[in-house]
Structure 1
Amino acid sequence: MNSRNKLAEMPIRPLLYTMAVPLMLSLLVQSLYNIVDSIFVARLSETALTAASLVYSIQFLMIAVGVGTAVGLNALLSRKIGEHKPEEACRAATTGLFLMIFTSLIFSMIGIFLSDTIATKLAADSELQELCKQYLSINLVYCWGIFLQTYAQRLLQAVGDTVLSMLSLIIGAVLNIILDPIMIFGLLGCPAMGVRGAAIATVIGQIAGAIAALLFNRFRNPIIHVRLKNYHFMWQDVADIYRVGLPTIIMQAIGSIMTFVVNRILLDVSATAVAFFGIYYKLQNFLMMPINGLGQAAIPIVGYNYGDKNYQRVQQTWKILLPTGAIIALCGTVIFWCFPGQLLQLFSASSEMLLLGIPALRIISISFVMSAITILCGYFSSGLGNGIINMVGAAIRQLILLVPCLWIFIKISGISHGWYAFWIAEIIACIYSYYMSHKLLKTIFK
């Protein structure tokens, strides 16, 4: 069964799961190498771990732009294929490549000229500033690997090939994990480079993953190909990409802004609180990767069948998507509740961090199911060409309510009660996202 017929004819439940599992695995591996980075950096010092937590907000902003553009491109390509317009899909894919290259050049320039300035804004301590600068000057300058990797993976996903997308990401992630200890601690004749080594290992892995994904598209993508010959640039393609992509970029960037602001709030409590939040955020991202994989699998399914006017299959996807995500999130809650100390010990947690972090992980984990529903509603709406619901839901859960509630709770009752801010933000975001996505679905049927 070819990719086009699979999206049109295969029963929704096995289609969603067979497409989601490779994406889940690839995203889990991707998240794992972020965690491995932190585990190895933590063995250098808690200061190095704090620096890694601080620069993650900038790194996440860069990823936000790449992922947002790719999500918009993915949704557009799926609709074009569903409308049986492969030539228009190829033109849009070529436009998407130019957008990715242009964006990566902007971030490279930021890395070359502004790494010092960004480091001074992230931390007041001179040692922290130097460590932040070391990481950013490499991670930003050579960012084109992650942009091209993200782009090429979404071309594969748009035609339903999540297995090759998974393989390309695993290639880069495994290489990163292998290189991390070698470059950080100086093994096998390599000089010990500390935080700088972690950054170099990361960009090498990203470049390797990009090369693999581009080759898979060149030889194994049956529908979408980049064609420079007779290519005609159209602003409408850019508008269609960013109709979904821009809200997604903003949504992803909100996470970067949130981590930056929360880190500033927690610095007034202690450096240990900042280090803990960095650990929590990566652990939480690891848990949410299966949720994101499920949502990313839904985009081409929803987009194709929406373009093909097969609205019954769109509704079936909705009915399967949310319960599946809620079950995965509930499993994560159980793990965080039962094993918080063991999770923190992976990062060589001090007694102070364990005292602060164990109750914090238990409190925050209660909100995971609401978080999963918000995320999946956003992906579903993006598949229908509406990125606003995704953006607003993320803004509510990560910024609009979370940050002020966290600040107020800490000021009134201390850090131990600050984590309850997650409950308020996630509940309101979940209600909004579910209501708006369900309303959008009913509008389609009308």
Structure 2
Amino acid sequence: MGERKEQEKRTVIGNTIIIFLMISVLLMAVLLIFINPIITVMFTPAEAVRETRLYLRICFTGIPFIVAYNVLSSVFRGLGDSKSPMYFVAAACVLNILLDYLFIGYFDMHAAGAAFGTVFSQAASVLIALTAIVKKKLIIVTRGNFHLDRPVVSNIFKIGFPICIQDGLIQISFIIITVIANSRGVNIAAAVGVVEKIIGFFFLVPSSMLSAISAICSQCIGSRQHERASETLRYGCLIAVGFGIFFTVICQFVSGSLLSLFTSEEIVIMYGSQYLKSYVVDCIFAAIAFGFSGYFTAYGYSMISFVHNVISIILVRIPGAYLMSKLYPDNLFPMGIASTLGSLLSAVICVNVYIYLKRRKIPFLF
């Protein structure tokens, strides 16, 4: 029985690697082909087109590394090790910062330097993860495990496809918000770009908590400890919300200082501070939504996460950002509120769905 389970793990991992390798290469090729239309659609300011094209070309080439890192991290979490991926992310972040200072500050490579820093740090995280797998001997995958197995592939897509589409839509919403920012001028576009980097760092907490909750709850489900799964959700959300509150409070006082780490232009810092002070509140409500998404995914209900994110994006995030940009053309604070309200809606939906399912005692979930 144990050997059969081990073989199933190897088959799942092998199939996952094949599927996402093909997807990453295909995605890279498509994005590189359509790089110019993408720049046009994003309303990139004329003076930034050349740098943007170079930046995107380098980043798109690094997509396989990003996908590989996420696949390897999911392997660690699936095997009960949620700490190692955190170390990989930390190493990648530190290396990215160092490379940014080297490429941008010392070699004056501008956007290309930032892109190379991102790609090289992702590649390094992949190498570290592979080294850890070999060193720890977590699992041994042979050539035979890399043959596509229809039931395994079906299960991967059944659970993973809604999450994939969900994350894709989230990224599209970010792109649309970037388009809205770009249409408002170079300074606002720059401010939004810098704030997105800062928020991306803050969002490592809820994102990591999502993965941790999903992994731990999956183990609880396997041992039929459903109450423990609920406790995992509760404490995971509390931890992430705590960090969100901390980030929110800090940014109300040091937003300008944070922005000054990325730019010296006063007007960009001013706009960025406005945006960051409201956008950072998103970390609180996103922590709740992300936590429930991890919980639902562990139970095989990834479609719930997909639905609440789609509703949030279509009803609040995109129209809210557009409306605020029109009503307050010289202030980015209201546009940040739109993102926060989107996560608030997701959190409300998640909590209500959770209560509904628990009361109805839906099969398999409780």
TM-score, normalised by the number of residues in structure 1: 0.73
Q: Assess if the C-alpha contact under 8 Å between 2:15 and 2:146 holds in 1.
A: no
Partner of 1:16: none
Q: Answer yes or no: is the 8 Å Cα contact 1:134–1:195 preserved in 2.
A: yes
Tell me which amino acid in the other structure corresponds to 2:342. A
Question: Which of residues 338, 350, 355 in structure 2 aligns to 1:421?
Answer: 338
Cα displacement string for residues 116-157 of structure 1 (whole angstroms, at most 9, x for unaligned residues): 333333345443221111112222124322222221122112
TM alignment of 1:181-196, pairs within 5 A: 181-187=101-107, 192-196=108-112
Contact 1:155/1:217 (8 A) holds in 2: no
Distance 2:357 2:6 in 1: 27
- Aligned twin of 1:290: 205
* 1:216 aligned to which of 128, 132, 150: 132
User: What is the aligned counterpart of 2:260 among 337, 345, 355?
Assistant: 345
Q: CA deviation at 1:98?
A: 0.3
Is residue 25 of structure 2 the alignment partner of residue 129 of structure 1? no
Are residues 1:390 and 2:305 paired? yes
Out of 95-104 and 419-428, give the one that drifted further: 419-428
CA 1:379 to 1:172, structure 2 compared with 1: closer, same or farther past 3 Å? same
Contact 1:110 1:140 in 2 (8 A): no
Contact 1:119 1:130 (C-alpha < 8 Å) held by counterparts: no
Match of residue 22 from structure 1: none
1:233 equivalenced with 2:136 (yes/no): no
Question: CA deviation digits over 1:95-129, x for unaligned, max 9?
Answer: 00101211121133235433333333334544322
Q: Give the conservation status (yes or no) of the 8 Å contact 2:44–2:179.
A: no
CA drift at 1:175: 3.5
Give distance in 1, aligned partners of 2:4 and 2:250. 45
Compared with structure 1, are the counterparts of its residues 316 and 228 closer, same or farther at alpha carbon in structure 2 (3 Å cutoff)? same
Aligned-pair CA distance for 1:381:
0.9
Q: 2:183 matched to which residue of 1?
A: 268
- Pick the aligned partner of 1:204 from 101, 111, 120: 120
**Residue 163 of structure 1 corresponds to which residue in structure 2?**
83
For each residue in 1:41-78, what CA deviation from the matched residue of structure 2 results, as whole angstroms up to 9, or x when unmatched? xxxxxxxxxxxxxxxxxxxxxxxxxxxxxxxxxxxxxx
Residues 84, 334 of structure 1: CA spacing in aligned structure 2 closer, same or farther, 3 A cutoff?
Answer: farther
Correspondence for 1:106 among 26, 36, 61: 26
1:388 is aligned with what amino acid? Answer: M
Opposite residue 85 of structure 2, the aligned amino acid is S
Q: How large is the RMSD of aligned CA atoms in angstroms? A: 2.7
Cα distance in 2 between the residues matched to 1:325 and 1:438 = 20
Tell me, in whole angstroms, the C-alpha distance in 1 between the residues paired with 2:215 and 2:343: 27
Report if the CA contact (8 A) 1:101-1:147 is conserved: yes
Q: Which amino acid in structure 2 is aligned with residue 208 of structure 1?
A: A
Letter in 2 for 1:108: M
How far residue 346 of structure 1 moved from its aligned partner, in angstroms, is: 1.8
**Alignment partner, residue 325 of structure 1:** 240
Instruction: Note closer, same or farther for the CA distance 1:169–1:233 as it changes in structure 2 (3 Å cut).
Output: same
Deviation at residue 185 of structure 1 after TM alignment:
4.6
Q: Distance in 1 between matches of 2:114 and 2:282?
A: 32
TM-score when normalising by structure 2: 0.88
Q: Equivalent residue for 1:253?
A: 168
Deviations 1:150-207 (A, max 9, x none): 21122112112233333444444444333333333555xxxx5332233223222222
What per-residue deviation string (whole Å, max 9, x for no partner) do you get for residues 348-406 of structure 1?
Answer: 25332344333433333444322211111111111111112222233344443121122
User: Larger deviation: 343-352 or 117-126?
Assistant: 117-126
Aligned partner of residue 348 in structure 1, secondary structure:
coil
Q: CA deviation at 1:428?
A: 2.0
1:87 maps to a residue whose letter is Q
CA distance 1:357–1:198, change in 2 (3 Å): closer
Name the stretch that deviates more: 111-120 or 308-317: 111-120
| Number of the residue aligned with 2:286 | 371
Aligned to 2:320: 405
Partners of 2:146 and 2:123 lie apart in 1 by: 27
Q: Which moved more, 1:114-123 or 1:97-106?
A: 114-123
Whole-Å Cα distance in 1 between the matches of residues 302 and 150 of structure 2?
19
Q: Distance in 2 between matches of 1:329 and 1:433?
A: 18
Q: What amino acid is the match of 1:138? A: I
In structure 1, what residue type is equivalent to 2:173? M
SS at match of 1:177: helix
Given that 1:122 and 1:129 are in contact with CA atoms closer than 8 Å, whether structure 2 keeps it comes out as: no
Q: Say if 1:236 and 1:201 are closer, same or farther in 2 by CA, change over 3 A.
A: same
Give the CA deviation at 1:266.
2.4
Match of 1:119 among 26, 35, 39: 39
Q: Alignment identity in percent?
A: 20
**Paired residues, number:** 361
- Tell me how far apart the structure 2 counterparts of residues 208 and 176 of structure 1 sit (CA, whole Å): 10
**Aligned equivalent of 1:178:** 98
Alpha carbons of structure 1 residues 376 and 358: separation in structure 2 relative to 1, 3 Å: same
| Alignment gaps of 5+ in structure 1 | 1-79
Q: 1:289 to 1:168 in 2, by over 3 A?
A: closer
1:402, 1:424 within 8 Å by CA — same for their partners in 2? yes
